[in-house]
Structure 1
């Protein structure tokens, strides 16, 4: 069975694009467009991978990573950003292959 991904991105176009690509690869994707929505899911939902944007309209992806370590310590956490000053697993803009490679590794 493929892994469950919690995808958090406040750019709706990118959220839909990533969700589509990951679903096509048979991942089970829960897509959230805000930090608040993601936090609500994280409190009770199950996921194997957290893939979150760093800069969210209502919060910071780094805070989601920290919370994820508390509620789902076995889950992998991946950060994506377009901000060159931040360390991230995935730098925007990214290709389809880069997204799939980072998630699969």
Structure 2
């Protein structure tokens, strides 16, 4: 093999390894959604805004958007990337996020 062929094979191998590592960085959608739902259910702010009413329904009407219904109250929650994660280079592992709770609309 010529040096050029060996160099090309080495570059190709590095690119493939990099792509594989990046593919493993994010959680599969099922597990990511589970983390988002757990963050919503663990939110003290959500409980306060819903007046401690038990949650009857959780919908996901759009990307990074959830609609929560509890008794006569409904509110929206957004999943937002953590700003601390955006200033650092991409790190392997699950998405870093926090939730932003909207105002409750109660009848």
What is the TM-score with the length of structure 2 in the denominator?
Answer: 0.27
What is the TM-score with the length of structure 1 in the denominator?
Answer: 0.27
Greater radius of gyration (CA): 2
